[in-house]
Each structure stands twice: as structure tokens, then as C-alpha cells.
A and B are shown apart, each in its own frame.
Chain A
């Protein structure tokens, strides 16, 4: 890749314009003067001076995964640092605005940067996973499995890396103990499942009563929409409920 391209990508910032295939002269100029100073630069922790005390700062949207998939690893690596610096800058500005009880303009910028960073990591993870699957037939991700805990509850156990094998690691064995038959645990599970069941029942009843309320208020309602929103409720039964009937003679 030519050095010019790399330079351009160094200047890539977190936000993506929506315009398709239309180079903008004024924009290129402003980008050229923005981030090329490579000296003692603690001022990179601060926003552009013209945004100090501004009411809002307009920016584009975050990078999407599909756009990142087009970029080489080197470009993504550079983009990460651009995003990292941008996030530090926004955090600094936010902190100072909070200290001085002033308005921090456009706080959604932080979310846009963080979303871009998440997408970037996801894309890299995708690539690494593809490599591992090709080479080893496994994902290369941190392994894990569904296990039953001492309390008889199922959960996903994320494995970790150890220097010694399992049978030699007494500390691990003490810390992670999985399910084995226990009468007290069985008794606990019975009660726990009852609790879950009652919660579910309560939700069903709540929904049923809500549907009755809806039927009472909007008799000409779209029944299909109602069915779609409350698939577990027996609507015919709700219609015939005593609470659903109005106060009038038939």
C-alpha cells in the first residue's frame, strides 16, 4: 500500500459521511490541518478550539461493521488508535464540563466512538475465528460449557487457561464444585422451580387482565394485532370474562 494511502487512513476519524462518491474540497483541507502535528501534544486531549463552549458539535454516524470489513488489518489497527484518542478527548471534555457545571456539547459523540470501537473488535474477532477454523477446525475462542452448579442451577462456565492440569490443581477443585446429588439441593430446587412457575403464572394473569382492559376500552380493536402482541393469552376466553362485559342490558 502506498504511503499516501496510509497517511489518508491515519486521518480517518470516527465518523462516516453519508454522501456517496462526492469528494468535498473544503473538507479535505480541514482534515489536512487537523491531526498531523507529531510533537509534544497534550493538546490532543482537547477538542478543536472552535468547539470550546459550543452548544452542539455536529458529527456523522459511527462506523458500521460492513465498512470495517473492507479495511485491512493495518488500517483497522490505525483506526483503533484514532478512535481511542477521540474517546480520550471526549472524556476529558466531558469531565471538565461537569467540573465547571457547563454543557457538554453533543454527548452522543462518545456513544458513536464506542460503538465504532465495538464494531472494530467484532470484525477482528471474526477474522481471527475464520483463521483458527481453517487451521485447527476450532474457533480459537475461549472455551466453555454448560454445567450444573452446586445449587443445581445450569449456567455457562467459561474455562480459563492454567499451567497445571486439573487433577493437580487443588485450589481450582476447591473453588469450582459442580453438582452432585444432595437431598437439600433437591428440596431447594423444588421450591425454586415453584417460584419460577408462580412468576410465570403471575405474568400470564397480568397479561390476561391487561387484554381484558384493552377489550373493554377498544372494542373495535384489530384482533390480529392483539393476538400478535399477546400470543399466550386466550382472547376468546378474555372476551367472555365477567370483567370484560359492560354495564348495559343486552
Chain B
């Protein structure tokens, strides 16, 4: 496995879903290369020495804050992560908090951090934090309530929509062959929240606002391909009216 894939495999699918960024960009924004062999004939071509161990916190891996938290050659503290078979908490799910001062309260999942088994529940499990204070500018700053992450394994539980109480869940198949989350207590299906499909760019795919440089879906789905017995190059030469009747000379492959 390439080293780049190792990074990406650490960042869960659901953690990066809302950002709507291509994996390629996430990897490029995240990587910290200490040394790269110059192009040319080398003892070890394409050797790259780069940061492999990252401290995954509440900062998104492609952000500048993440870079600040992961300075060059910082050794992150070892994190023991409880293995989970399948991720079952999605953006917009109603969950109940099982620990802390907001124990028993219900809220909605706002952010997911699969690499730490964390979620942030909107407006709950907050800590007060002072920001922006500056002696030089004689500004006391403002106090804000900052939501703290919660472990999905034992600090929150999904809420059954039929009776609005917390429940454990199970993944099962419906008659139509669709995988759904089912409350083990009542046997009711817990539907996928609509905001699971939401990204920074659109609320849902149906209401996406087309941008000037986007290709319209009509143009994309239009089929213009006709199978023909020729290579791409032959086809283009034919269409451009380039005549070529010289025969390639004998070459040897070895």
C-alpha cells in the first residue's frame, strides 16, 4: 500500500463527506514532506520522507489549524481506538447523551470524526472558552460555548423516533434489500437523516445551484460515442483529415 493511501484510509468516509473535497486534495493539503529525492537517476528513485503519524483532533485534516497542531517531527501521543464494525452515527441523527453535565439531553449530530470515534452534538456538552483577548488592544475577548466531542462507543446513543428514547441499534436488511438501522428495543427502522447528504456546497443534490463553469447534466449524459474499429489516434487523424501512409519501420522490444 502506498503511503498516501495509508493517510486517506485513516480519515473516515463520513468525516470528509460534509466538506465535499476530492481525496486527492485532502492528501495534498495534509502531507508534510521533509525530503524528496530530486528527479533523475538516484540510488532510490522517488524516495519521499514525510510525516506519517498525525494527531487527529477536532481540526479537519486539510485545514491550517491541523497543520499547526501537527508540527514537523512532532510525535503524537498514542491513541487507543476501540474497533467499530460499522459506523452508525450520521450527520443530523438525533442522539441522547449518556455522560457529563448534559446527560439525558437529546441533540443532533453536527460533525463526525471517524478517526477518533467522535461526534460533536449540536449545542450540547459545551465548555466555556475565552477567545480574542488582547492586552495590547485592551480587549477582554468574548466567552463562547464550545462543543466538545463525544465518543460514539459509550457516550451517546441513537434515539428511536417512535418513542424518542435512546436505544441500541442493529444493521438489518429490509425486504427490498436495503440496509437499515433498526432499534433493538422496538424493532422500528431509524431512517437516515436528510442532512447526511448535505455538504458545504449544497443542502441536497436536488437543490444544487449550478455554477458558471459547470457542464449541464444534459451535456454530460448525451451519448456521442459510436463504436468504431480504430484507435483514438486513428479516429482523430481521420476527423482532422490527416493522411499518413508511411509504414513504421521494424523495431525490437526488449
Chains A and B share a contact (CB less than 8 Å) = yes
CB-CB nearest in chain B for A134: B229
Given A17-B214, A70-B224, A108 and B21 contact (CB-CB distance below 8 Å): yes
A247 contacts chain B at the CB level, 8 A cutoff: no
Given A15-B213, A70-B224, A226 and B83 contact (CB-CB distance below 8 Å): yes
B153 contacts chain A at the CB level, 8 A cutoff: yes
Chain B residue contacts of A14, Cβ below 8 A: 213, 215
Q: Could you tell me if A112 and B211 are in contact, using CB atoms closer than 8 angstroms?
A: no
The one of B25, B209, B225, B233 in contact with A107, judged by C-beta atoms closer than 8 angstroms, is B25
A70 to B223, CA, bound (A): 5
In B214-254, the 8 Å CB interface with A consists of: 214-226, 229-233, 235-236, 239, 251-254
Given A17-B216, A111-B25, A222-B85, A70 and B210 contact (CB-CB distance below 8 Å): no
How many chain B residues touch A (Cβ–Cβ < 8 Å)? 47
> B-contacting residues of A (Cβ < 8 Å)?
1, 5, 8-9, 12-24, 27-28, 30-31, 34, 48, 58-63, 67, 69-77, 86, 107-108, 110-112, 114-115, 124, 127-128, 131-132, 134-135, 143, 159-166, 172, 210, 213-214, 217-218, 221-222, 224-226, 228-230
Q: Could you list some 28 contacts between A and B, CB below 8 A? A: A13-B214, A14-B215, A17-B214, A17-B216, A18-B208, A19-B208, A27-B212, A58-B209, A60-B210, A67-B220, A71-B225, A72-B224, A72-B226, A73-B236, A77-B232, A77-B236, A108-B22, A110-B25, A111-B28, A114-B24, A127-B231, A128-B232, A132-B231, A135-B229, A160-B253, A162-B254, A218-B153, A221-B82
Question: Shortest 8 CB-CB distances between A and B: which pairs?
Answer: A108-B25, A225-B83, A111-B25, A225-B85, A17-B214, A111-B24, A73-B235, A72-B224
Q: A128-B232, A210-B80 given; name 15 further pairs at CB < 8 Å.
A: A5-B222, A13-B214, A15-B211, A17-B208, A22-B217, A60-B213, A60-B214, A61-B22, A62-B22, A73-B236, A124-B232, A161-B253, A162-B252, A225-B84, A230-B83
